[in-house]
């Protein structure tokens, strides 16, 4: 890239501590930006999914791995920035504990879902397709369960750590189930870049984003201090724990088993008739 030419990148990410932690270096430009000017577009993940699907207007955006099944023609996946559950992931909660819970326990039940294109929804359908989905904003799901509006809630983000304090019981961890079933980690979200930017720009920005994540990991406390503003009431200890769950070595580089988990997820979705056609995942190289 010509060093005198500024490349403007609109980067969509969700208002969550893990995303904010990765963006700390971009927000304050504490690393050399290498000719890029990054503008943050902050929306919840399902809104970013739908925005990418509608017109692919953002040059770079976070999306659910499920959503990528419908975006592969326009976007490639950056190897850095993935949110991957290692034997943990979205959880199913209820008002009462159920030690005998299995796939039959949710047949015909009403379940609050945080979005049609979320990976949580795809993974739950792979687990069991026969339930009534009720689509509710992710931050309203636990209230819907407590109020009896639904039988179960599919919880993502910090609710994975705070559900017990809300008086709810975890009956299923989809990341744990996925690992037991496949032996692989569960990729939940990735950061993608528009293919029409060209291979050089795609590669250079991918490397810059990797530097941003590495910078935050090396300067953890100031990055956590920046991220906690998006924690929706998380205390510093839980903020640190949540960021640690989803920003780690796998976020710096998705790795071969992360790639394998991503491919297996979309393949299983296709085999179950959830995703309409096979998906070829293109990674930035």
The two beta strands, 60-64 and 152-155, are unpaired
CA pair distance 77, 62, nearest whole angstrom: 10
> Which is nearest to 83 in space by CA: 39, 126, 29, 120?
120
Calpha distance 21→43 (Å, rounded): 16
Using alpha carbons, list the distances in angstroms from residue 191 to 6, 80, 110, 194: 21, 7, 31, 10
Structure tokens at 80: 């850095």
From 13, 66, 157, 163, the catalytic residue: 157
What does 127-166 look like in DSSP terms, one character per residue? H---SEEEE--GGGHHHHHHTTSSSEEEE-TTHHHHTGGG
In this structure, the chain runs to a length of 285
Q: CA-CA distances (angstroms) from residue 234 to 154, 163, 226, 243? A: 19, 12, 13, 11
CB 96 within 8 A of CB 109: no
Known active-site residue 179: no
Q: How far apart are CA 226 and CA 230, in angstroms?
A: 8
Which residues are tagged catalytic?
157
């Amino acid at each position: 890239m010509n060093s005198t030419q500024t490349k403007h990148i609109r980067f969509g990410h969700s208002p969550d501590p893990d995303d904010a932690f990765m963006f700390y270096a971009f927000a304050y430009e504490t690393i050399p930006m290498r000719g890029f000017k990054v503008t943050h577009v902050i929306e919840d993940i399902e809104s970013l999914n739908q925005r990418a699907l509608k017109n692919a207007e953002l040059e770079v955006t976070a999306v659910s791995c499920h959503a990528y099944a419908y975006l592969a023609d326009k976007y490639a996946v950056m190897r850095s920035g993935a949110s991957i559950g290692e034997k943990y992931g979205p959880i199913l909660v209820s008002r009462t504990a159920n030690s005998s819970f299995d796939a039959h326990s949710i047949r015909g039940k009403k379940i609050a879902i945080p979005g049609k294109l979320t990976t949580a929804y795809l993974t739950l359908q792979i687990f069991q397709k026969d339930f009534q989905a009720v689509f509710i904003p992710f931050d309203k799901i636990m209230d819907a369960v407590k109020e009896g509006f639904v039988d179960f809630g599919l919880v993502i983000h910090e609710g994975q750590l705070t559900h017990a304090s809300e008086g709810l019981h975890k009956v299923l961890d989809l990341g744990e189930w996925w690992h037991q079933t496949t032996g692989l980690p569960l990729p939940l979200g990735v950061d993608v870049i528009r293919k029409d930017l060209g291979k050089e720009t795609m590669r250079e920005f991918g490397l810059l984003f990797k530097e941003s994540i590495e910078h935050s990991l090396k300067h953890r406390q100031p990055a956590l201090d920046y991220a906690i503003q998006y924690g929706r009431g998380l205390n510093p200890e839980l903020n640190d724990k949540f960021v640690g769950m989803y920003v780690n070595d796998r976020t710096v580089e998705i790795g071969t088993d992360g790639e394998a988990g991503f491919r297996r997820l979309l393949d299983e979705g296709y085999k179950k008739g959830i995703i309409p056609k096979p998906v070829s995942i293109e990674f930035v190289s």
